[in-house]
Amino acid sequence: MQRTPTADRPPIRPEVDSDERWRIRRTADDFDRIAETESIFALSNGWVGWRGTLDEGVPCGMPGTYLNGFHERREVSYPEGGYAFPLLSDTVVSAPNACLVRLWVDDEPLDVRTGTLRAHERVLDLRAGVVERYTDWVSQGGRAVRIRSTRLVSLPHRRVGVVDWSVEALDESVEIRISSDLLANERVPDRAGDPRAASVIDDPLTAERQRSAGTDGVLVHRTDRSAQRVAVAVAHHVDAPDEVATTVDCSPDRFRLTLTGTLPAGRRIALTKFAAYDCAPVDGAGPDALADEVVAAADAARAEGFDALLAGQREALDAAWLTADVELDSDVELQQAIRFGLFHLLQAGRPDGDRTIPAKGLTGNGYDGHVLWDTEGYVLPVLTYVAPGVARSALRWRHHHLPQARDRAAELRLTGATFPWRTIGGEECSGYWPAGTAGLHVNADIADAVLRYVGATGDEEFLAEAGLELLVETARLWHGFGHVADDGAFHIQGVTGPDEYAALVDDNVFTNLMARRNLRGAADAVERLPEVAARLGVDPAEVAGWRAAADAVFVPYDDKRGVHEQAAGFTGQAEWDFANTSEDDYPLLLHFPYLELYRKQVVKQADLVLAMQRCPGEFTAEQKARNVAYYEARTVRDSSLSASPQAVLAAEVGHLDLAYDLFAESVMQDLADLGDKTGDGLHLASLGGAWLALVQGFGGMRDDRELLSFDPRLPACIDRLAFNLRWHGHRLRVTLTGAEARYELPDADGGTAIELWHHGERLRVAAGEPAVRPMPPVPDAGPEPSCPPGRRPTRRSAGER
């Protein structure tokens, strides 16, 4: 492919707003990172997800059209099986792809790798919620055309996605052929060489129905093992010269609308493709009924029109950004990145249903499309405060799958409910016991998310309908799993905490403290809702047992070193040989046996530090400072989950430059593809963690008391930080500068007020009466903690922007 030199390219969109803080751009220079771009440009609405592939489908890193919860099942094989090993695992599979619009110019297919690109740019607009494409291409035969497209997945309309596409002949008339496809069973590349990659199931969809009417079509397929049915309809609006002919072809795995004819110079052909998706269990809606539903949805979208859908998308995002936006007056790239992260969090879930958010959202097939503890641990703590309805839906999804969690607990000879480490349909899908079944803390993470959501919203209806039962069943798990030893303490043994380089340990501090929060939170909720608790079979003796266990939870501490142990005995293990570990050896899990990792003081991701973030009242300020220094030197951040809690604690103890650099690593995880894994989907937990690094780290926000508390402190490289929180139905706006903190209720009616803490002072914030307080000086925290050699985050602080 020949490329016109950048300096000679014409401006693509001279009318574009110059504010790049709301736009992500990719050009021809990014073709070598095509899979990464597809993830970054993915669009979804919590139900339908389209990866950001090119309209013509080539080049392509990994195609993907996802429906939340739509999957196929596969067998899990073991060299040597064992009791209660999962025998089946769920894997996300792609629904039929309605994004494809292919073009031939004088029988030469459009391919940006051939011919000459006069201009090529794609833009993700974070305010409009669309991906726009601008390409001027000259075929190898010398024919010049201009391709423009806009793609959206509708936030207001759950089933609907739209591609608005056009081609224009530039210098002379050309022979054109356009194929608008709906394609099932696309080939997905198999990355079997990477043990972290998704499993690939070839041809997962079996055709059941296909039909066409005019320029429209619908395909219905089913999966065999998971017994799910998916239907996709496309409805077209075509604007073309009279000379252009239209034909339709419909087969079991493909519907195709083809346009052929001569396109005179200066004329254009435009088509808008309205797609509608739905899925259901095979024993639910039949194939014809499901087909009729999506056909009606596609027809309704076409009747509404693309411009109206575009306006509705902007209106929905304007409302969302009112609360979600963060203003960061420092590094323009990081301002753009935090908005990018929030955009993907906002479009990952829906408030009008009972679906949750997979670890990669609907942006790729990484982790097989599974839901992990990332959702409750990193994503819901953000959505609870910026989009609480979405958090509510995700927690209702957990409640919906409570029967499977009870069955899993019974299979494991445990009490209460044991939620899966990895899942799509509610069953355990992790075949790796130490970091799967033993990661029991997922149950406390779910309880923590319930407590946080109810505390922030006051949603007693949710607590009565779903939240209390989740708290009760997880409390029963901990009460039955732990035991009181001869020392009188309540011990939780044989578990894996957040750090997956330490497996099957005793008294992991994070797990123990989160179990304590679970037990106490369940007891408090039972006493608030005694009638509901009675229906769940809870009696006073059981509640008393929970409280006694919580009070007796053992928290290991190393008196000699003056630090908490990540788990009992951790600080007595051999140190990792960092001096003989090269940069090429990271991530360690790809170069060292787990047997070696398990025996050494090397931490994959924040564990003890995460415990201090989640349970801040369990540690003194001095303990936090010593713990941060000790574990910073041993944490290698081989997980994208690590940087954000490290940033929060580094900020709290006063190492603001380190905190800023860790925040930058978290927020740039995907835009810079720091872990070389963005190609199989975005790291939503890292993007959520970046918000936590700003709001909990520099904003100093904590929610473990009756009132919100703020202990803000800004590094020198941030001139101003502003963010919003939803608190009991009100929008609280916080604006921080180096001199002062301002708290206000910008939307509240007269008489509305909330109370909060600012650096230990209780404040009342009322409608029309902002509270403004000075920012106290940051205490001297001493020397910055050391990091493992070569593992300090890239320096972005100290004026380097």
Is 711 in contact with 700 (CB distance < 8 Å)? yes
Question: Token digits for 606?
Answer: 């924040």
Question: What is the C-alpha separation between 218 and 231, in angstroms, rounded?
Answer: 7
Annotated ligand binding at 374? The verdict is: yes
Question: Token digits for 488?
Answer: 């009188």
DSSP three-state, residue 693: helix
Angle between helices 287-304 and 306-324 (to 10 degrees): 90
**How many CA atoms lie less than 13 Å away from 613 in the CB half-sphere?**
28
Pick the closest to residue 232 from 96, 100, 363 (CA basis). 96
What's the CA dihedral at 683, 684, 690, 695 to 10 degrees? -170
Pick the closest to residue 199 from 68, 371, 368, 372 (CA basis). 368
DSSP three-state, residue 273: strand
Amino acid code (one letter) for 313: Q
Is 710 in contact with 727 (CB distance < 8 Å)? no
The residues, any chain, with a CB within 8 Å of residue 416's CB and separated by 6 or more, are: 406, 409, 472, 473, 474, 475, 476, 477, 478, 479, 480
The residues, any chain, with a CB within 8 Å of residue 658's CB and separated by 6 or more, are: 632, 647, 650, 784, 785, 793, 797
Which H or E element spans position 218? strand 216-222
Annotated ligand binding at 646? The verdict is: no
Annotated ligand binding at 336? The verdict is: no
Question: What is the C-alpha separation between 274 and 723, in angstroms, rounded?
Answer: 36
Is 634 in contact with 665 (CB distance < 8 Å)? no
Question: What is the C-alpha separation between 627 and 49, in angstroms, rounded?
Answer: 41
Residue in the block written with tokens 């445990």: 414
Q: Are strands 65-67 and 708-710 parallel, antiparallel or unpaired?
A: unpaired
Is 425 in contact with 69 (CB distance < 8 Å)? yes
Opening angle at CA 619, ends 617 and 623, nearest 5:
155
Opening angle at CA 377, ends 376 and 383, nearest 5:
60
Active-site annotation, residues:
500
Q: What are phi and psi of 303, to 5 degrees?
A: -65, -35
Question: What is the C-alpha separation between 701 and 704, in angstroms, rounded?
Answer: 10
Annotated ligand binding at 2? The verdict is: no
Amino acid code (one letter) for 121: E
Q: Which residues are annotated as a binding site for substrate?
A: 373-374, 604-605
Residues at the annotated binding site? 373-374, 604-605
